[in-house]
């Protein structure tokens, strides 16, 4: 039988099939590692080592899910039982920092990375995009961001560039974050940085406008 499919189509199909097979193989091995960690337990390996290993595995899963999302154009969860998924990758070229953004800003999701407030917009929308993270982990560098720094956001819609226009500390018990009808980023974390106690009412807020 004569193969009538263009070579480019065949190569693309093979690449997609190879990508899926590779991802399934990675997921299987990571699941085995997670099961091993859970069976050993934090009391045996030390809580700090256990939490570090858990964080590294979560980052691996989230990065893999984001690559699959870009490759296939549809949402992929980082692990089977997750109730969130990556919606963007955020980069700070001036600080050489980057992070994946998860959907839904709650305590559970923010344990694994920055997360988007569901009532806010997405980059490219005519609505503020609000992203929050903890100041002792994924947003520990936020205090180093300066006015006019560039923030890059990659989503399924493409890449968007923003420029920092405002840095401020607010009292969350007195002032709420305003979601404005414009394409901007609002990044928030607890304040002050390196505080002995977390979860206070003060917030550090970075606002960046679309370039």
Distance in angstroms (rounded) separating the CA atoms of residues 1 and 113: 52
In the structure encoding, which two tokens stand for residue 34, read together? 């997670």
List CB contacts of 57: < 8 A, sequence separation 6 or more: 30, 33, 34, 37
pLDDT at 130: 99
pLDDT at 29: 66
Distance in angstroms (rounded) separating the CA atoms of residues 96 and 94: 6
Phi, psi of 86 (to 5 degrees): -70, 135
pLDDT at 10: 46
Q: Global pTM?
A: 0.80
* Partners of residue 155 on adjacent β-strands: 158
Task: Please check whether residue 181 is in contact with residue 153, taking contact to mean a CB–CB distance below 8 angstroms.
Answer: no
Which residues, given as ranges, of the chain have pLDDT below 50?
1-4, 8-13, 38, 42-43, 45
Distance in angstroms (rounded) separating the CA atoms of residues 192 and 106: 20
- DSSP assigned state of 158: E
The listed CATH number (1.10.1200.10, 2.60.40.1930, 2.40.260.10, 3.40.50.1820) that belongs to domain 86-210: 2.40.260.10
Task: Please check whether residue 74 is in contact with residue 91, taking contact to mean a CB–CB distance below 8 angstroms.
Answer: no
């Amino acid at each position: 039988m004569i193969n009538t499919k263009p070579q480019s189509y065949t190569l693309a199909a093979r690449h997609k099939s190879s990508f899926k097979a590779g991802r399934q193989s990675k997921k299987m091995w990571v699941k085995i590692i997670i099961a091993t960690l859970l069976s050993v337990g934090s009391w045996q390996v030390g809580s700090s080592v256990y939490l570090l290993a858990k964080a590294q595995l979560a980052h691996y899963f989230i990065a893999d899910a984001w690559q699959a999302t870009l490759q296939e154009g549809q949402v992929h969860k980082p692990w089977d039982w997750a109730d969130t998924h990556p919606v963007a990758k955020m980069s700070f070229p001036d600080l050489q920092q980057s992070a994946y953004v998860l959907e839904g800003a709650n305590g559970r999701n923010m344990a694994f990375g920055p997360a988007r407030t569901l009532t806010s917009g997405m980059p490219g929308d005519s609505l503020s995009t609000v992203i929050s993270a903890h100041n002792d982990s994924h947003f520990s560098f936020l205090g180093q961001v300066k006015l006019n720094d560039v923030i890059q956001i990659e989503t399924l819609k493409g890449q968007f560039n923003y420029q920092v226009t405002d840095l401020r500390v607010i009292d969350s018990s007195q002032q709420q974050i305003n979601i404005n009808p414009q394409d901007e980023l609002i990044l928030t974390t607890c304040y002050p940085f390196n505080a002995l106690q977390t979860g206070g009412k003060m917030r550090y807020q970075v606002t960046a406008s679309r370039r």
